[in-house]
Each structure stands twice: as C-alpha cells, then as structure tokens.
Structure 1
Amino acid sequence: MERIMIRKVAVLGAGVMGAQIAAHCTNANVPVVLFDLPAKEGDKNAIVKKALATFAKLDPKPFAAKDRVQFIEPANYETDLAKLAECDLVIEAIAEKMEWKRDLYAKIAPHLAPHAIVASNTSGLSIETLAESIPESHRARFCGIHFFNPPRYMPLVELIPTARTDAALMDALETWLTVRLGKSVVRAKDTPNFIANRIGVFSILAVMHHTERLGLGFDEVDALTGPKIGRPKSATYRTADVVGLDTLAHVIDTMATHLTDDPWHGYFGKPAWLQELIAKGQLGQKTKGGIYRKEGKTILVLDVQKGEYRPAAGEVAPEVDAILAERDPKVKFEKLRTSTHPQAQFLWSIFRDVFHYCAVHLETIADNARDVDLAMRWGFGWAMGPFETWQAAGWQAIAEAIAADIAAGKAMANVPLPAWVEKVAGVVHGPQGSYSPAKGNWVGRRALPVYERQLYPDRVLGEAIIDRGETLWENDGVRLWRRPDQDPRIGIVSFKSKMHAIGDEVLDGVLEAVARAERELDGLVIWHEAPFAVGANLKQVAEACAAGQFDLLERTVAKFQEASMRLKHATVPVVAAVEGMALGGGCEFVMHAAHRVFAHESYVGLVEVGVGLIPAGGGCKEFALQAHRMAQRAAGGDVFPFIQTAFQTIAQAQVAKSALEAIQMGFGRLGDDIVMHPRELLYVAIRRARAIAEAGYQAPLPEREIVVAGRNGIATCQMFLINMLEGGFISEYDFRVGTAVARALCGGDVETGMRVSTEWILEVERHEFVELLKQEKTQQRIQHMLTTGKPLRN
C-alpha cells in the first residue's frame, strides 16, 4: 500500500465547512493554507480572516485549543495560488455549484504539486463529473472526501473514488484520515448525496410527510424522534435548524434534480412552510430563528396550522411512551404497528418507509448493509442503523408488514421489496459479514492494516463477537484483565460502575490491581469506553452524610488518596487511557498516572466545587507540586503565580474541552500522547506501557520538600474571591468553598515559603474536604446534583 506524507493541506473555500475542516487539520498538527476570494477592498485575505475570527463565537469550538489558529495561513485566489505547490492535499470546499467548482479547478491546475492529492468536499455532486475538470495528471489522485458538520466532532467521512482514482491511493488516504484526523471512513458510490445524506435526508422527508399526514406538531415529533428511538437530542426539526434550513433545502433540491427516476421522487420537495421560512431569511440557528426560535428563556416553535409561533411543549403520549420502553424490539415494533394512536402510527410509518427505501437503494449507493448502518451512526448520530434496527425487530416479520402496507397503499412508494430481502433469511449482518446485493453475498470489513489498531471497533448488530480478553481478577467495581494477543504482561484495569464513578468497590479494586501488577505484570493500563470517570460516587457520599458517618467518609477519602498515590508510585508504569469525561476523582487518577494517552475528545477537570467540595484525591497536592517545580525554574522562585493559575482552574471548575487543553491546563504533561481516533486508544496505551517498562521505568519518590504559598497565598486567593462575591458572580458559600481550595493548594495555615511534605498537603486536602461534607449547604448541593444532574447555587 502506498504511504502518503501530508505535511501541509490547502483548503479552498473559507465558508462554514471549509474553515472548520481547516481548523480540524490544525487540531491534528497539520498546518493549512486556507483560500477564498480576494476582498474587494483593503486586505486581500480579509474574507478568510473574518471567517477565522467568527470561530471564537462558535459552540462547540472548531479549534481544540486557542493557539491552533496560528497554524492556518490565510490566502486568496488572486495573489497566493503559488502556495499550492507546498501542499500535499488540496480539499475543495466551495459552494455546491458545478460550474464554480470547474472554474476553480482550472485556476488551481498550474500550481498543483505533482504528488498532490485533490479532493472535493461536495455533499452530493457527481465526483466523476467533477473529475472531468481536473488536469489529466491528477485524475488518478482525485476523489471525494465528504466531511460531516461540524468536522471536529462528527466521526464520518465518506470517501468516494472515481473510475480512475488509484486504488492504492484510496487505501492510503483512508488510513491517513483514520489515524491523523481521527475519522471513521465509509466508501460510498458516486450517487447523488452519497450514503448518509441520501438516507438521512429521505428520513427527514418521511418525517415531514407523516407529520403533515397525521397532524402532529414539530415539537411533538421532536419528542418522538430523539433519544426515545435512539436518535440525537436535536431529533428532526431541531437538527434541521442546526444544519440550516437553506442547506437542507439545497440537499433536497439535489435529490429532486438528480434522482428523477427514484420511486419516491414525488416526495423530494420543500414543504410550503419551509420555503416561506427561507424566503424570510429565517434559516435556523445561524439566523437565531427557523422552525424554533427563542424569546428570552422561552423556546417557541412554528405552528403551521396557525402560521405563528407558540411555546414548545411537545410530549410523548403515555401509552406510546410505554411501547417505546419495551425492551424486546420485536414486541416494540409489533405494538407500534398495531396501535391506533397517531404517535405510534407515525413512528411505525417513518421506520417502515426508511427500511423500504434503504432496501431498494442499497445496491446502488453502498457496497453493503454495514456501510449504510455505520454511515447513519457516524454521520447522523443514530444509535443503530436502519438495517440493524430492522434485524433486531425481526427481519421476516418486518418484511411481511412492509409488503402488506405496500399492497394496501399505505407506504410512500409502491415499488416492491427487492428479492435479496428474502434471500438473507433474516440475517443482513452476521458473523460472516454484512450482505452486499451487488456481490450477492455477505462481505467482511475492509482489511487495511490501520484497522488492526482498533481492538474494539464500532460493531453492527449480529457481527462476530469480539475477544473480551482474559480476566486476571475482579471485584464488584473493577476488572483486571489482559489481551494476550497484544501483550500478555500488560494488565488492563476497567471500572464496572455506572458512568465509571469511583466508590469504595472501585478504590478497593484499584489498590488490588496495582498490587497484582507489581507482582505479576510489567505495566498497567486504565481503560474503558467513555466516559473515563465522572468522579466520586456521590450516592455513597450522600448516604454516609445522611447517616452522619463522617469518620467513615474520612477513611474513604484517605483510601482515595492512597489509591492515587499507589498509581503514581507503583513499581510498574500505570498509563491512563482517557476518552470523554474525566472529572473530579477521575481527573485525579489521570493526574497521578505515570503517563497519559488521551483521545482527542477528552474533557478533563476538577469540578468538585460544583457540589460544594474540593479535590481531595491528591488533585490539589498535584497542582501544588507543579507550582513548586515551576517556581524552581522561575526568577525569584515565587510559587504563588503558579498557585494562582491552579486556584482559578479549580475554584471556577474549569474543564478542558480537548486533550490539548487538558495538557495546557496542567491535567496532563507535554510528553503525553494524543490519539485522534478513540478506537485506537487501548492499542496505543498498551504499547506505551510496554515502551515505558522496557526503558527501565523507575517510580518517582514522594516529595518531602514542597515550597508552599501558605498564609499570604490564601489571603491573596481570598481577595480574588471577595471581588467575585462583590460582583455577584459567586455566593457566600462559594466563598467558603473557594477558601478551602486555597488552603489545600497553599499548604494550609503555615508561613509563606515553608517547605512541607506530600503527606502534609494530602492531610490538608482531606481535612478541608471532610469539613465541607459536614456543612448543610454542601449536602444540599450533592443531593441537588443527584436529583437534577445540575449544580446548585446556594
């Protein structure tokens, strides 16, 4: 397989997608030249610079850290095309106008490096037709690379070759997209809207059709088509607002224009209400109004019948909610199909028509059923793809129900189900692979070496069972195991608790796992699928507080500190493999590991103040130690400037929004690893643990002399809190909690500059933590968090 070296990327077009693709490349440490039209006046690069300036207002953030913007070089087509010669990959991401793209290809052609890969980020235009405008010298190195919005967060990239695209290049590009940009790649056929948008937009059209047919409200439909059926919280109509109603209309138009022979073509139109909103410039979230809009704190939704907005209050009927709560998919779908309630009929109708559509078009849009299911999961956030859902609900029974509805004229189209539906005998996905109508057989996954790094890839329902490894020891909270095929002497610790919360059983398990690793293994990895850990088990804490068991709680905190210190000072290296949230105690475990392997999307922070507590598993001690070490290298050796930064981080419960930020904020170190694709995390962590062990790992000794900020440091921190209090930003109890943070970070009530031991700071942490637990307002905050999932300001 060809190996490609992509040292610099050019992105053509600084619109919403182009600029964010450029941002994500810099997240992966790939510099970018971002092009757009020259400004008519002043700075020729003003259009690109304005696009980048808007990123500060976007949420979620396109950049993983603020400093990433420096790695994007603004450019324009008039004066800077020569810079294309430095670029190994050129991604075109301008508006979906075939003639505009062709003109741009002609303009860039003389400036392309001979080895450059050229790709279009089109969401639905023909790649073969676009290729006709690419220079002959680059046609074998041209393809479609379709990112999904927002590119940083959405896993899916559809890779679309032409008939002339070099096959080895496609494999190399899929490898690069997977490892370097962290993307989950699906190969799509060159058909309008490819796979995910083809199915996803049809699904939206089906929802719109049945919404109108059954007289349901948009908010009612969103209540039905969100998490209740395994779809994102934004459901259908909110998603349309987020994507942009003009963008949705464009994709619908693409289907209407290019899919004239589609049996469902009659439904490829924009409803009158959608056209009216677009005509008024009400395009959704980007214009602060569309199907939904906000007035003050009230969310309003468009009522089509009345032609005006009303408060959104969509709810699922109790009887339909009970059906959706059924655990057996076969029972659930049978009840939906036979229920006379409009909401149940709506749900059966949208599932039926999507199943029907996917079955008819599978052969022409994708290689196999797995690619369709994964595309919908990765590109639209569905918990299960359409074929998985169908198979789970009983393949044959659903097929018969669809056929009956087609015969009765209830389905959106009267085309029959294809013959392959019967041929698979109820197993579209199985241990042998996923069915491919084009090949007339079940096919396995693409066997690229890059996928050997994904020990636990995303699997579809019915696929072969994955090796879960060999258990070495476990208790109620922790499993210690290994993958002998990867490294028989590197242990893996996985938490078994809900959301991987850290309670007594997890602490006991961690202590035992470290002890066993020291006796029997060469290294230890802490890994489980996201989240890494959401902190201490608050339910256990609340129960002990209610019973007045503060001595027990102090012993538990001491055990937590012991577990953290055992991780740090173990005689074998402990590697924390972090994905998703690592909050509170989870963050403290991360900080105490010998090394960290972060997934790029890791959200790390010490958030204890939100429940009226402070970090007491060694988190304050670690920041005090960092401040001491940095002060030793600074002029004057003053520790407080470094304590001040840590204090603000903890007192304001700041959470790193990426692995890059986690390292910058002190939750990790510069030498830690960042893995772009989360499914590679365990593979990399095992090998990192092995490398550290082979290098002759020696555990650090506990520090006995840490210079602390003492009383003066505490007083200065309190001045910050007083300003916040007087400004109305914090409550009086927040001041109390913040003071406890300051005491722990500054070493307690001691002289400024005093030298103390690790054990001393841990004791201060523990004391302040338990004293806060005894306070009624902290107990109220803990209970409120358990009840609502939100912090209480009291």
Structure 2
Amino acid sequence: MKRIIKKVAVIGSGIMGSGIACHFANIGVEVLLLDIVPRELNDKEKAKGLTLENKVVRNRLVNDSLTAALKSKPSPIYHQKFANRITTGNLEDDIAKVADVDWIIEVVVERLDIKKIVFENLEKHRTPGTLITSNTSGIPIQFMSEGRSEDFQKHFCGTHFFNPARYLKLFEIIPGPNTSQEVLDFLNGYGEQYLGKTSVVAKDTPAFIGNRIGIFSIMSLFHMVKEMGLTIEEVDKLTGPVIGRPKSATFRTVDVVGLDTLVHVANGIADNCTDDERHELFKLPDFITTMMENKWLGSKTKQGFYKKNVGADGKREILSLDLDTLEYREKKRASFATLEMTKTIDKVVDRFKVLVSGKDKAGEFYRKNLSALFAYVSNRIPEITDDLYKIDDAMKAGFGWEHGPFQIWDAVGVEKGIEMMRAEGYEPASWVLDMTASGSASFYTVNNGATFFYDIPKKEQVKVPGQDAFIILDNIRKSSEVFKNSGVVVEDLGDGILNVEFQSKMNTIGGDVLAGLNKAIDIAEKDFQGLVVGNQAANFSVGANIGMIFMMAVEQEYDELNMAIKYFQDSMMRMRYSAIPTIAAPHGMTLGGGCELSMHADKVVAAAETYIGLVEFGVGVIPGGGGSKEMALRASDTFKKNDVELNVLQEHFLTIGMAKVSTSAYEAYDTNILQKGKDIVVVNKDRQIATAKAHAKLMAEQGYTQPVKRKDVKVLGKQALGMFLVGTDAMEASKYISEHDHKIANKLGYVMAGGDLSEPTLVTEQYLLDLEREAFLSLCTERKTLERIEHMLKKGKPLRN
C-alpha cells in the first residue's frame, strides 16, 4: 500500500520529543505535539489567579518545552516560521486528535510501565493502519507491544532518532515480533528520502546498534585512560579530528551529552548483556562513580570532565579534571610524535596505517584501542545485526565518525588488524578468519561506482543496498576522471554531465581551483551537456585562498593581485554565462568565494545544512569575486513599482556588512543569497550530487540557451551613497563599528550604489565588477586589513581592529 505522511503526532515534548517534532516540521509535515497536564500551578499561574482547568495551564508543559527548544542553539528547526507547522496540546484534552494523524511517535520517559499506559490510551483513539513507533533507546520493543491488538502490533516498531534529531543522521528501525515487512520497508525509505537520515534496521537487542558500539567505545576509553596513564586532554587529542571524529572527541562529547545519559545506557547494557564477552567493561570505573555522586554531569551542571572558570583577572578559562586527584587544573597541551607524522596526510582514512605503527604512547594507544574495537564489532555479528555495513553506517550517522570500525580495519589491513588483536589478547570472530581463508582481503570493495560488502552467510561480496539514489564521488573518481590538477578533479557523472570536485585544503578557492573550473567549463561546452560543482567533504568551501592574497598584498604585488581578482571575477562570470547549465551543490560551510560561486551558478541545489554567507568583512575587505556586484544586481531585480528602493538596497548591503551566515539553507532565502523559485534545498546530503546532476540534465534537455550578459542593473548613485555614508558615520560615532569597519563599509556602499552617479542609472555587470575590484584592491593596501588577514590565517577567527 502507498503511504503518505501528512501529519504526525509526537507524544512527549522533552528535549528529544520537541526535537523530533521540529524536524518533521522542517520537512513540511504537520505536527501534533502532546504532553501531560501539570499536576499543580506554578507561582506565575497562582499570581494570575489561574486554575488547573485553564487551557494555558493544561498546555504549559508542552508549550514551555517547545519554546525552550526553539530558543536553543544550535536550533532544532531550519527556519523559525516552520514552527507554525506544530500544534501543541495535552494527553487528556487532545488525545482524540491522534485519530487524524498518519504516524504516532512516542517519546515519553524511559520506563516500560509508563510507555505501556500511554500505548493503551493511544490505542483507544488510534485509527487502524496508522503507524505507531517508540523512540526508546534501550527498552526491548517486544515488551512494549504486549497486550495490544493485532493491528497495533503489525504497525508498531522502534524508530530511534539520535539527539539532536535535526543534526544526527542515524535513524534506527527496530522491528517488534509482529511488525509487518511493509512497515519496515516504508520507514526505511521514508527515513532516508524525507527525513534525510541514514536508516538502519537493527535487531531488538539492548542499546540496538549505535549505542551498543558507541558506549562500548567510550567505556573502553574510560578504562584505558587509567591503565595507560593518559590525561583527558591527551585522549581528546587522540580521538578527535585526527581520526575523523568530531572536535569534541570523547570527554567533551560526554560533557555535552551528559554523563548521566551515558551511564544510564551503560548500566542498561551491563544489566541486560550478561553474556557479552566484554561485560566487565560496562561496569563504571571509580572516577565515573564519584563524578555521578558529585553531580559533575557536564554542561548541564556547569562541570564535568571540563569546567569553565573565571579567573581573578576576570578572564574565562577552561579547566580540566585530573582523573587521579579528581581536582580541576589548568588544561595541559597534548602532543605526540605519531600525530605529527600524519599532518601531511589529508585523507583521514590514509592516516590509520601510520597511527598504528607509531613507536610512542600514541601508537600504543591506537593499537590497544582499535584492537579492542575490531574484536568487539566482529563478535556482535550476528547478535545485533547480520550485516557489517550497518555497524559502520550507525557509527558514522549516530556518533559522527568519518569512518566506521570495519572501514578503519580495512584501512589498517584485515590481516594487520588480526595481528594487532592477538598481540593484545583478543581473537576475532570466526567469520573473519573464514573470510580471510576464502581469499577475501577486505570487508569492502568498489565495483562500477558501487560499494560492495562481505556478506557473511553468502561468503561473498554483495552490493550495499540503497545506493541507486546516490552518487558517491569516492567510488567513481578514478574510473570517471576526465581532468585533474592540484586543485580539482573533474568527473564524468554519466548522461552528459560533468562534476567539478575541489581538492584543496578546506576546499579553498585559489588559482589551481579556478584553472580547473575553467577547464571543466571548456570540456563541458565542447563534449558534455551540463556541469555540477559539488563535493562530499565536510564543507563545500570556506572561501578564497586568503593566504595567497596576503602574500601578494604584503609584497605589494598589486598588478598580480589585480589580475588574480579579475581571474576570480571572470571565472564566476563564466559560471553564469557558459553555453551549458551550471549547478552549484553547496553544503556545510559555504563562505566568501564559495558563496560567490554558488550565486553565479544557473541553479543551486543546496543541502539543508548549508551555512552560507559573504564574510569578507572579517578579513578587512569586501566580496571581490562578484559578490558585491551580485548583491547590487539582486537588489535591482527585487525593486518593484512603488518600492522604497533604498530600503531594498540597504537590506542587501547589510547582508554583506554584517557578514550574515545562514544557519540553514532555508534561512539563505531571507537574504536573497538563495533565490526562491530558482534554487532548491535537499534534506539528505547523500542525494545532493545525484539531484544536482538530474537538474543539470533536465535544463539541458529543455533546450538551455546561453544567457545574454546583463546591461540593465539599476544603481541609485549619490542618493544611495549618501544614505550609506550617513549610516556608517552614525554607526562609528555610536561605537558599533571600528574606524576600519567604517572604511570597509563605505567602500562597499560605493560599489553597491554604483559610484557617485548623479541619478539612478542602468549599468552593466562589468561596470560593477570593476568598481568592486578597485575597492577590494584599495583595501588590500591598508595595514589593518593585512592585520585581519594575518590573524585569520594564524588563529582561524576574525580580528576586530
């Protein structure tokens, strides 16, 4: 049967429930969010003379929870106006409304007795055939549906979102004893296509897949830190970005999540997995027990493994917990020779061979840590899943690991991993030895652009399901390469569409990237139908190569700098005025030049998690790759009859002047960086390149015509320039901006006004580009601009001078 989800009910409005409600609102679904009725009045309600029968009082818990969620940072919602899709209520007055929804999601407290009462009440009002799921993180699914009707059990299972629901991609689906296959298939597809998740069907075992492996990994570190005499700073250094894990690494992550949350899951595994060969590992070390007793739970109690402190001089500092004395001390810098050896290795996956061969304490740590992990995950099959790729998917999507355990094992080498394990006293599961004995040297292989995994029952490599909607650049890069230089790889995506993938550090845009982009356009215009600019790194692009700009400016090579800026501008104009459709596929940080490139494409296919903006003010310049021109042009295109045109222009000016960066792609529509009716947003980043390719192909098939260069950009001249100058004078006088900010803002105002023309005039894009380049170059001669660029290069954050 075909299912369409138009409305969901979320039962329970705590942090998790409100987060799930917001994410369904993010994708356009109507949400009914319900919670219990308060048992007593609070002080404010008493002062107002309200009673427990008052509707405001009865909905207080749900409304307060949702309000808190919407105010939290990072925000659970793509755009605040999307909150209008959520209706709140309570479980006494409004429970009958669940009859009208397509899916009921229970997110109440983790107690089986309470959940069973909730399900009993819901079944009285639920329409037969309606999906009903629990977001439990550990209670066996089979127990929750006991005593319910056949229809209820058929449509019931676990759907475990990870917190925060908007940002973490893992969506575990846990079947009950009688869940229908149709329901599981639907949820698997819906999670991936609509919710933007990595859907993983798990077995009904304690903590399912993600938490079972993730908590093991953390508990293993808790025991290892004492055994090896490591500090928490050293462990966080070893388990952070160097191995493709989040910056918060281990101990900072626990502080953010809450030590009590981790202990709750660990205790659940210890209580319910008595046959686990590493059962002892889930017992809490003494320092964790003490921290729990002291309520040092992390961010929620203002101290955990780290503690923010204000010194006698008023400066804020972060203290670290000494695990031997359990006293806070100044943070210690951690460094290891083995880590230094990986600094020149850009790809995380290529670092593991170096890390496990280290001769220092870091090398010993990785051998111990990874050996324990490899042994544990191999022994969890078939207990928690039959398929090894599901464990990798769960760890990447739920815990932010760049590579899953079996991918890391492949990177080290399967035989090398077994050798390491045996040296540490572990033995792999028998199926691993069967695999190597059969001649299979790896858990994964790539064939014809698709990933295959070792299927244990079949004893052969089988294609990982669900890839047909994706294009995985790592899989096609070698076989589909059309052109390559030090800055880009150009790949043939098939169907006449090329892709330009940046390969520079943090995907910065320098001369080699621009040369590659222009070459890709040349090739596409000659032999292909369209061009996508996209990659699958952490971020689309953090902007222009400011190091190159800094060196030219310091050396006062202004002619070369002028040529470099003109080359950037000309490349952006080629994106817009080529003979083939160009599609930009931004995601993550898309700043400065990355934003300018996106704005000059024929169409943008943005991931929902795109943080895009023109941030050049932070390094003392204005957008010089066409961004200042483009905002003036977009303001001109927005002018309507009887508009106060100055106000429209001012809004576009402030987008640059305040270095606004959207917190989602949807927010970028507000600043006109993304354009409604032209640019689109995809929720699942994994589908982005495939979607961009489809749009390029469609535009080509519809008869794409090379655009005619614009000569009709309306600029307002002195009228606008006067407004900008008065405004910036007032801002500096009020101490809102510095003297140098004032200078930069006036330069930007001059460009966006079209200079000091005596009256509104229609000008060409090239006219504005010339003004933009002149202003950019003049700012590069300023000492304070060079100070800002140098500070950004050294510290990675803007300087206000």
- 2:492 aligns with 482
> Amino acid of the residue matched to residue 396 of structure 1?
E
Q: Determine the structure 1 residue equivalent to 2:786.
A: 779
1:678 and 1:480 map into 2 onto residues whose CA distance is: 20
Aligned-pair identity (%): 36
The one-character-per-residue Cα deviations of 1:189-239 (angstroms, maximum 9, x if unpaired) are 110001111011111111111222334332332222222333222121111
Number of equivalences: 767
Tell me the distance in 1 between the aligned counterparts of 2:788 and 2:201. 49
Please say if residues 121 and 145 of structure 1, whose CA atoms lie closer than 8 Å, have aligned partners that are also in contact: yes
Once residues 481 and 234 of structure 2 are traced to their aligned partners in structure 1, the CA distance between those partners, rounded to angstroms, is: 47
Deviates more, 1:543-552 or 1:738-747: 543-552
2:625 to 607, 617, 622: 617
The amino acid across from 2:612 in the alignment is V
Look up the SS of the partner of 1:371 in the other structure.
Answer: helix
Q: What are the residue-to-residue correspondences of 1:636-675 with 2, within 5 Å?
A: 637-671=643-677, 672-675=679-682
Correspondence for 1:629 among 623, 632, 637: 637
Aligned-partner SS, 1:64: coil
Structure 1 residues 676-698: Cα deviation after superposition (integer angstroms, max 9, x where no partner): 11121121112112222333334
Q: What is the aligned-residue RMSD (CA, Å)?
A: 2.6
Task: Show the counterpart of 1:237.
Answer: 251
Structure 1 letter corresponding to 2:380: H
Residue 456 of structure 1 is matched in structure 2 by: 472
Q: 1-side partners of 2:501 and 2:277: how far apart?
A: 50
1:185 aligned residue (185, 188, 199): 199
Asked whether the 8 Å contact 1:211–1:346 carries over to 2, the reply is no
Runs of 4+ with >6 A deviation:
323-328
Q: Residue 462 of structure 2: which of 423, 437, 444 is its match?
A: 444
Q: Do 2:375 and 2:429's aligned partners in 1 also have CA atoms closer than 8 Å?
A: no
CA distance in 1 between counterparts of 2:168 and 2:720 reads 44
**Alpha-carbon offset, residue 358 of structure 1:** 1.9
Q: Displacement, 1:773? A: 1.3
Asked if 1:62 corresponds to 2:81, the answer is no
Instruction: Please point out which of 598, 602, 610 is paired with 1:602.
Output: 610
User: Counterparts of 1:330 and 1:697 in 2: how far apart (Å)?
Assistant: 48
**Following TM superposition, by how much is the alpha carbon of 1:103 offset from its aligned partner in structure 2, in angstroms?**
0.8
1:252 aligns with 2:266: yes
Partner of 2:332: 313
Equivalent position amino acid for 1:654 in 2: K
- Shift of the 482–127 alpha-carbon distance from structure 1 to 2, 3 Å rule, reads same
Q: 2:128 aligns with which of 111, 114, 117?
A: 114
Higher mean displacement: 642-651 or 272-281: 272-281
Aligned to 1:753: 760
CA distance in 2, matches of 1:335, 1:585: 39
Correspondence 1:50-449 to 2 at 5 A = 50-296=64-310, 297-318=316-337, 329-330=352-353, 332-335=355-358, 341=361, 344-406=363-425, 417-425=428-436, 427-431=441-445, 433-437=452-456, 439=457, 441-442=459-460, 444-448=462-466
User: Aligned equivalents of 1:528 and 1:404: distance in 2?
Assistant: 40
> 1: CA distance between counterparts of 2:636 and 2:217?
58
Partner of 1:566: 574
Residues 404 and 83 from structure 1, CA distance in 2 versus in 1: closer, same or farther, beyond 3 angstroms? same
Match of 1:462 in 2: none
- Structure 1: which 5+ runs fail to align? 460-464
Deviations 1:691-743 (A, max 9, x none): 22333334544333333233342333344434443444432111111111111
Question: How far apart, CA to CA, are the structure 2 residues paired with 1:718 and 1:84?
Answer: 58
Answer yes or no: is the 8 Å Cα contact 1:26–1:68 preserved in 2: yes
Residue matched to 1:11: 10
Look up the SS of the partner of 1:151 in the other structure. coil
Letter aligned with residue 95 of structure 1: V
Q: Is this contact kept in 1: 2:669–2:675, CA < 8 A?
A: yes
Cα distance change, pair 248–497 in 1 and its aligned pair in 2 (3 A):
closer
**CA gap 1:467/1:401 in 2 versus in 1, 3 angstroms:** closer
Q: Is there any run of 5+ residues in structure 2 with no aligned partner, and where?
A: 40-51, 311-315, 447-451
Q: Whole-Å Cα distance in 2 between the matches of residues 452 and 247 of structure 1?
A: 37
Q: Out of 287-296 and 426-435, give the one that drifted further.
A: 426-435
Give SS of 2:276's match.
coil
Question: Which residue matches 2:744?
Answer: 737
Give the whole-Å Cα distance in 2 for the aligned partners of 1:569 and 1:332.
48
Q: Is the 8 A contact 2:374 2:417 kept in 1?
A: no
Q: For 1:70 and 1:170, locate their aligned partners in 2 and report how far apart those are by CA, in whole Å.
A: 30
C-alpha displacement of 1:611: 1.0
2:61 matches 1:47: yes
Corresponding residue for 2:24?
25
- Equivalent-residue separation in structure 1 for 2:454 and 2:380 (angstroms): 13
Deviation at 1:420, TM superposition (A): 2.0
Classify 1:335/1:474 alpha carbon distance in 2 versus 1 (closer, same or farther; 3 Å). closer
CA distance in 2, matches of 1:324, 1:568: 37
TM-score, length of structure 2 as denominator length: 0.90
Q: CA deviation at 1:58?
A: 2.3
| Structure 1 residue 783, shift from structure 2 partner | 2.4
Structure-2 change in CA distance of 1:364 and 1:470 (3 Å) = closer
**TM-score of the superposition, structure 1-length normalised?**
0.91
Question: What amino acid does structure 2 have at the position aligned with 1:734?
Answer: D
Question: Partner amino acid for 1:441?
Answer: K
| Cα separation, 2, equivalents of 1:310 and 1:197 | 31
Is the 8 Å Cα contact of residues 34 and 75 (structure 1) preserved in structure 2?
yes
Of the structure 1 ranges 494-503 and 682-691, higher mean CA displacement relative to structure 2 is found in 494-503
- Aligned CA distance change for structure 1 residues 563 and 320 (closer, same or farther; 3 Å): closer
Match of 1:539 in 2: 547
The secondary structure found in structure 2 opposite 1:582 is strand
| Aligned residues of 1:705 and 1:755 also touching (Cα < 8 A) | yes
| SS of residue matched to 2:544 | coil
Letter of the aligned partner of 1:26 in structure 2? A
In 2: Cα distance, 1:472 partner to 1:89 partner = 47
8 Å contact 1:102–1:133 — kept in the other structure?
no
The equivalent residue for 2:34 is 35
Q: CA deviation at 1:572?
A: 2.9
Using the alignment, how far apart are the partners of 1:240 and 1:325 within structure 2? 30
Deviations 1:591-635 (A, max 9, x none): 1222111111111111111111111222222222222232224x3
CA distance in 2, matches of 1:353, 1:481: 39
Query: Cα deviation per residue 1:443-466 (whole Å; 9 max; x = unaligned)?
Result: 534534xx3110118x8xxxxx54
Please name the residue that 1:575 is paired with: 583
* 8 Å contact from structure 1 (residues 105, 133) kept in 2: no
User: Are 1:709 and 2:691 matched, yes or no?
Assistant: no
- AA aligned to 2:651 is T
